[in-house]
Amino acid sequence: MNLILIILASIILFSQFFLDFLVDYLITSKKIKKENSHKTKITIGIIILFIGLMTVWITFYNQKIDKRQEESKHNKEFVSQQSRFDNLDSINTELNIELKLRNEDLKIIRNQNDSLKSQILNLSSKQEQFLVISQFSAQEVSKSRVALENMGYKQISRGISQYDKIEMVKILKNYKNNKIILTTILGDSEAFLFSEQIKEVFETAGWKVDGINQSVYNNPLVGVFIGVKSQRYPSRVDNIFSAFKILNIIAKGNLNTNLQNDDIELIIGTK
């Protein structure tokens, strides 16, 4: 725009000089009267003045337009920035609301966690009390059983208390996912009922129990026997011996060459 104005002003000045030259030429060549020469010059001066004023007005108008365009551009940028700030404020407000909700949820979860911890502590305390009572009851039952047997009452059925079951499962769990063959004496109901309890203990500890099988033996088997193929038996056999000690039962070893190398047979004999 500035370059155009410079060119326009140069043209006007050149036109002025050209008109002056033309007027002088006309006056000299055609011998125009002096009065007419003055009128012509005045007319030309008025035209030049008008052109100059128009140039000034056009320049002012163009500057005004440029200023408005610049202001419009700034206004658009301001509106755009304001819109961005409004969006950021809206997002910030939503995040604050979400944060408050999450904090409230966290407080609820913490309260629930504290309540669960309290319940777990109460349950643990009750479980300890139950184990103490069960242990005492199991010891009393064992003493009574031994006393009755010493008095000649040999037909007292064998059984496993809840406390003894828990303790046996703790020991047997060390070798869970192993297999054991469970066998008892055919026709001995007491041995079969005791075998059912033994099977439940092993299965609770995660063992796979094959049986309860029932067999007939030439020689009477009294007590509990743990059968293996050779004296180089697996280490889990010692674990089974330890489990039966909880019941005050000393299991006996039994070699059975018909077994596979890693097989273990548990025989529940007569009482």
Residue 139 in this model has a pLDDT that exceeds 60: no
pLDDT on residue 193: 94
Residue 130 in this model has a pLDDT that exceeds 70: no
Rounded Cα distance between 73 and 86, Å, is: 20
CATH code for the structural domain at 162-268: 3.30.70
**Assigned token pair, 187:** 């026709």
Q: Is the pTM of this model over 0.85?
A: no
Query: 10 Å Cβ neighbour count for 161?
Result: 18
Q: Domain extents for the chain?
A: 2-83, 162-268
Residue 62 in this model has a pLDDT that exceeds 60: yes
Rounded Cα distance between 159 and 166, Å, is: 14
pLDDT on residue 146: 55
Rounded Cα distance between 248 and 146, Å, is: 10
